[in-house]
């Protein structure tokens, strides 16, 4: 039975196979050689596939969390847009009302200014007329 534990080359199996991993045993027998290498590769492949599955689940979890966060942020952004949009519209309307009030006030003040200029011109003409009358009276008084 000693020949069962030997590889085809007649060499005894060691603690490490050619790929650097410990020999696998199946059913109490140490598997070495090509069958051992295939079994080792199969187990390595299986464990890597399991690790890939774990990583895929991890990625899917993060994608889901990211999507949830993204949706939440988008909803908040939409709320903010609605709030500021309504606020901006209200301010625009108030501004338009104030502009119209200011235009009306400007027209009123312009009319007052025109009236005052007219009155000033009239008063100035009256002053000139009075000055002439004073000069005339002074000349009459001075000749007598």
What pLDDT shows up at residue 30? 60
pTM: 0.45
With a pLDDT cut of 90, the percent of the chain lying above it is 69
Please compute the mean of the pLDDT values over residues 48-60 and round it to a whole number. Answer: 94
Say yes or no to pLDDT of 63 above 60.
yes
Q: Give me the DSSP letters along 72-133.
A: HHHHHHHHHHHHHHHHHHHHHHHHHHHHHHHHHHHHHHHHHHHHHHHHHHHHHHHHHHHHHH
What pLDDT shows up at residue 144? 63
Say yes or no to pLDDT of 86 above 60.
yes
Which range is most confident: 14-23, 28-37, 47-56? 47-56
**Which of 3-7, 44-48, 54-58, 104-108 has the lowest average pLDDT?**
3-7
């Amino acid at each position: 039975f000693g020949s069962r534990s030997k590889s085809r080359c007649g060499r005894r199996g060691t603690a490490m196979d050619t790929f650097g991993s410990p020999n696998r045993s199946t059913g109490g027998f140490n598997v070495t050689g090509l069958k051992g290498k295939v079994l080792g590769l199969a187990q390595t492949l299986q464990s890597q596939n399991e690790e890939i599955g774990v990583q895929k689940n991890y990625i899917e979890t993060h994608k889901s969390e990211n999507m949830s966060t993204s949706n939440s942020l988008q909803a908040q952004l939409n709320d903010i847009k609605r709030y500021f949009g309504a606020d901006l519209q209200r301010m625009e309307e108030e501004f338009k009302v104030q502009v119209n009030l200011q235009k009306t006030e400007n027209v009123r003040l312009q009319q007052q200014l025109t009236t005052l200029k007219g009155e000033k011109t009239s008063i100035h003409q009256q002053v000139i007329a009075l000055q002439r009358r004073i000069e005339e009276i002074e000349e009459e008084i001075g000749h007598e």
